[in-house]
Amino acid sequence: MEQAIIEKYKSWLNEITITPSEKEILKNFSQEEIESCFGADLEFGTAGIRGVMGVGTNRMNIYVVRQATQGLAEYLLANFKNPSVAIAYDSRNNSEKFAKETASVLAANGIKVFIYRELMPVPALSFAVRRLKTSAGVVITASHNPKQYNGYKVYGSDGCQMTPDAAKQVLENIRKIPVFSGVKRSTFAIEMSNERIQYIPEKVIEKYYASVLKQSIFSPKISDRVLRITYTPLHGSGLKPVTTVLNRDGFNLIDIVEEQRLPDGDFTTCPYPNPELKEAMELGIKLMLEKENDILIATDPDSDRAGVVVNHRGTPVILTGNEIGILLFDFIVNARIQAKKMPKNPIVIKTIVSTDLINLIAKKYDVQVIDVLTGFKFIGEQIHLLEEKSNVKRFILGFEESCGYLTNPAVRDKDAVNAMLLIAEMANHYKHLGVTLVDRLEQLYKEFGDYKTITLSYQFEGLDGKAKMAQIMENFRNPEIQKSLGNIHHIGDYLQQKLIFSDHEETTNLPKSDVIKMFLDDAETVTIRPSGTEPKVKAYIFAHGEERVNALKEIIDNLMK
């Protein structure tokens, strides 16, 4: 083991501010645990920081949170006059504690803080940043990760996730700050009493609800609410906002999954609280079938991702993020045309790993498609650019395959509360027509082609995981490996910012990102990228029919070994 790691470990062991229980944990560390917890530092990036909770520099804990906040504070003080920050947190273990420590350190640096009184979704934080005109926002969350994780997500003054340049400045500050002695400290109670910390007023929450309800396309006056809904917040922050919005939109036939109703940082009933996974949805599916409800809808712990299961004539069908996106886009376009609410020159914004079936549907309705890099911050960035040009009304949907959707330009991140409203209106509309969402999806495949999509995820834990992931990305840049997937039309290498054809190259006009997209014959695509928040490499397949998808999956499985 490197001497630097041992010295770092000893400095924590001898630190007087470390609690007795934490010292006891440190004393009992094995050599492997010392290397794992102190062999690296959690890196601050555009998604902030995220990691397993525990003691050490490579773990999420109160000391790392304070250090990151001091780095953020110094960035804000250097770039804003009288800076302020809005803060939210989800249901995870230590989320409220980390949020209040964040508020206290910012306030100790003379920065005004507005914090939600109770857990609130990520999109509500994005909204509050814009509504309160703060310099930045922070959400304590690890999204849909298992219970061991927590994170620290930072937003800019535009309500989007922090830009790469800003994140780089914060990271440079953090690296100069001693984790224990370099942080300005105060207490939450003291800073509340001197009003440097204030709770976000209820009227801001009401304004958020109102902005979501403005996204309604078919009001109860136009379409009677006959849809029967099962809803699970998966122990997260979605219960109050989702039910409030649905009730106000006329949806009252809602059964909540009682076992998953209340916040629970241990996620007792769903160890991996991801609405894309069947395991997380099993209790909801059971209740949906028992009650003979039409759909099950779900939100993840920070309520930015939306999941849907359809009761398709007694058979539960879990929709993928891409399938929900296809259905929403088709519904929004047709419903807006019917309601005469379609703007001139409409725009849909999606990520490069999301289904390209959107492009075919968009062509039919003359909707412009803007493709961006993976990460909803890039969708938010495009909304901001439209707003700057007074063209934000052209925006009708932002969509990423990992169950992220947005139609509300008052928010700049994916919003499951917004999505739940539209999904309910969509399913209600089709119920009046006597069809399910699965029926409508099959109709779209018949019209535009039987394209199927699948997202694959390969885990690479430990300190050698990063090296393994880097090697895999390099392997997929090898022309021989690329050819093993089929006939290549061209390659998108987004790290080089190039589209590479057999006889020429073009620029992507996108920022650098370690992503490779192989454009095959017959409009099929395979995209490979490392996750920005987890030790994983992800593969996205878009191909004709399940047989072809499975064939490509087998090839990629072998290449990931």
Residues recognised as catalytic: 143
- φ, ψ of residue 295 in degrees (nearest 5): -145, 155
Cα-based distances in Å from 8 to 17, 35, 181, 281: 15, 10, 14, 42
> Residue 435, Cβ neighbours under 10 Å: how many?
15
Closest listed residue to residue 356, CA positions, set 554, 488, 489, 541: 541
Q: Is the dihedral of CA 254, 260, 263, 267 positive or negative?
A: negative
Instruction: Using the CB atoms, write b or e for 513-546: b if 16+ within 10 Å.
Output: bebbbbbbeebbbbbbbbebbbebbbbbbbbeee
Closest listed residue to residue 198, CA positions, set 139, 140, 150, 134: 134
Length of the chain: 561
Distance, CA of 284 to CA of 288 (rounded, Å): 6
Three state DSSP letters for 300-356: CCCCCCEEEEEEECCEEEECCHHHHHHHHHHHHHHHHHHHCCCCCCCEEEEECCCCC
Distance, CA of 83 to CA of 217 (rounded, Å): 38
Closest listed residue to residue 113, CA positions, set 134, 94, 89: 134
Closest listed residue to residue 356, CA positions, set 453, 492, 423: 453
Q: Is the dihedral of CA 82, 83, 86, 92 positive or negative?
A: negative
Greatest Cα pair distance in the chain: 71
Instruction: Specify the 3-state DSSP secondary structure of 111.
Output: coil
Distance, CA of 542 to CA of 354 (rounded, Å): 9
Rounded to 5 degrees, what angle do the CA atoms 197, 203, 208 make? 105
Cα-based distances in Å from 153 to 1, 233, 268, 375, 411: 32, 21, 24, 13, 15
